[in-house]
Chain A
Amino acid sequence: MADRRKHKERQPGETDKSPRQPKSAARWFIGNVFSLVRRHGNFAMACLLIGYCVNRASTGVEAFAGRRSLADLKFGLFANVTVVFTISITLSGLSIGLYLRERGNHRRTRERLAARIKELEIKIDPNRTSSKLTSEGLTRRDDI
């Protein structure tokens, strides 16, 4: 929403009431830091959390280093994987797989139907405005 274009619907004779002050370099820099945090904060947070999980797990595994042989450990690992864990991982994996498949189907359906709807609506309202999503109904790369 930071796109700062002028309104197309400005009334005749209406003037821009917003004299913009020139930005200093410091304001520009700090402002864009917030913009970057907004844009990539979610991804960075997810990476940090995954990194933390891996770090905790590796610290735990390190405690076993040198105490048992690799072959011994491999056998022990498979023998101790619980049924509950196997079932929950299988079910979660299946659910996520099914969801991703359905999501793909949904996108293809949207792509197929949206063009027809647009065509029909333009016949009724030739000045019809659009949300400017992609044909699959996704966010444009430039808008992220």
Chain B
Amino acid sequence: MTQAQMLVTILEAAIGSCALVFVTFALWPSVRLDVFRQQMFAVRDELFDYAASGKIGFDHPAYRLLRQSMNGFIRYGHRITFFQINMSMLHWKIVESHAPMDWTERWDRAISTIDDADVKNSLLAFHRRSIMLVSGRLVFGSPVLLLVLAVGTLIELFNLGWRSAKAAFERSLNRTTTTLIDVRRLEEEAARAAA
């Protein structure tokens, strides 16, 4: 290899690496954030349509709490990454010693006031979908969590006897998030932010 060829290789590698850093740290997170918000907006719109159909009142606490939490996730979607959440948790632990977690309590109370089982199940399903979106955003943005997810999915597949890959994946995704991060805490913060 001549000197000029070596120099060109060095410059090519430098330009390529800088471009890769730009894509990895600027463009890719921006796309992921847009996708997350878009999906959460879709769930929120479906919830609105559900309430507009008359199955639940717009002023029912369960509807308002669910919408409040979704609004918070949309607004602070850029902070839902493993790194940011760990830093926020440390910040909360050091600066605030007694942060109340009453969103879950109020949600459980509100859900228990609904007599119609179909409506109750539908609202729980909306809630589950929003949490799955948050879990997906968290896990797919972190190589560490992705590795945990892959191992967890394999274990779940063994547990389920190699029958349902989708169920194994969803269970593992849920377990990965709940084991490492307190989802109730995220909901609490999301609801507060949107209040």
A interface with B by C-beta (< 8 Å): 1-9, 16-21, 23, 27-28, 30-32, 34-35, 37-38, 41-43, 45-46, 49-50, 53-54, 56-57, 60-61, 64, 67-68, 73, 76-77, 79-82, 85, 89, 92, 96, 99, 103, 106, 121, 124-125, 127-133, 137, 139-140, 143-144
- Decide: A77 near B94, CB < 8 A? Known: A1-B79, A130-B71: no
In the bound complex, what is the Cα–Cα distance between A21 and B189 (angstroms)?
19
In the bound complex, what is the Cα–Cα distance between A30 and B11 (angstroms)?
41
Stretch among B20-28, B123-131, B166-174 lining the A interface: B20-28
Cβ–Cβ contact B194 & A132, under 8 A: yes
- Decide: A9 near B29, CB < 8 A? Known: A57-B11, A127-B59: no
- Decide: A129 near B71, CB < 8 A? Known: A27-B95, A60-B10: yes
Cβ–Cβ < 8 Å partners of A73 in chain B:
4, 7
Q: Does B162 contact A (CB under 8 A)?
A: no
Choice from B18, B87, B98 contacting A19 with Cβ under 8 Å: B98
Cβ–Cβ contact A125 & B48, under 8 A: yes
Q: Does B64 contact A (CB under 8 A)?
A: yes
24 CB contacts below 8 A, A to B, read A1-B72, A1-B192, A9-B106, A9-B195, A16-B100, A17-B100, A32-B91, A32-B95, A34-B90, A35-B91, A42-B29, A46-B22, A49-B25, A53-B14, A53-B17, A54-B14, A61-B11, A64-B7, A82-B12, A131-B75, A132-B71, A133-B75, A139-B78, A143-B75
In the bound complex, what is the Cα–Cα distance between A76 and B99 (angstroms)?
65
- Decide: A38 near B74, CB < 8 A? Known: A1-B189, A53-B18, A80-B4: no
Cβ–Cβ < 8 Å partners of B4 in chain A:
73, 76-77, 79-80
Cβ–Cβ contact B194 & A131, under 8 A: yes
Q: Does B160 contact A (CB under 8 A)?
A: no
Cβ–Cβ contact A67 & B194, under 8 A: no
In the bound complex, what is the Cα–Cα distance between A54 and B41 (angstroms)?
41
In the bound complex, what is the Cα–Cα distance between A46 and B22 (angstroms)?
7
Which residue on chain A has the smallest CB distance to residue B106? A9
A-contact bits for B92-131, CB 8 A (1 contact / 0 none): 1011111110100010000000000000000000000000
Cβ–Cβ contact B3 & A64, under 8 A: yes
Cβ–Cβ < 8 Å partners of B7 in chain A:
60-61, 64, 73, 76-77, 80
User: Which residues of B from 50 to 76 have beta carbons under 8 Å from A?
Assistant: 51-52, 58-59, 61, 64-65, 67-68, 70-72, 74-76
Cβ–Cβ contact A30 & B94, under 8 A: yes
Which residue on chain A has the smallest CB distance to residue B48? A121
Which residue on chain A has the smallest CB distance to residue B81? A42
Cβ–Cβ contact B37 & A137, under 8 A: yes
Which residue on chain A has the smallest CB distance to residue B89? A34
Choice from A7, A85, A127, A139 contacting B58 with Cβ under 8 Å: A127
Q: Does B180 contact A (CB under 8 A)?
A: no
Cβ–Cβ contact B87 & A41, under 8 A: yes
In the bound complex, what is the Cα–Cα distance between A125 and B67 (angstroms)?
12
In the bound complex, what is the Cα–Cα distance between A53 and B24 (angstroms)?
14
Cβ–Cβ contact A96 & B96, under 8 A: no
5 A-B pairs with the lowest CB-CB distances in the bound complex, closest first: A76-B4, A38-B87, A31-B95, A57-B14, A1-B189
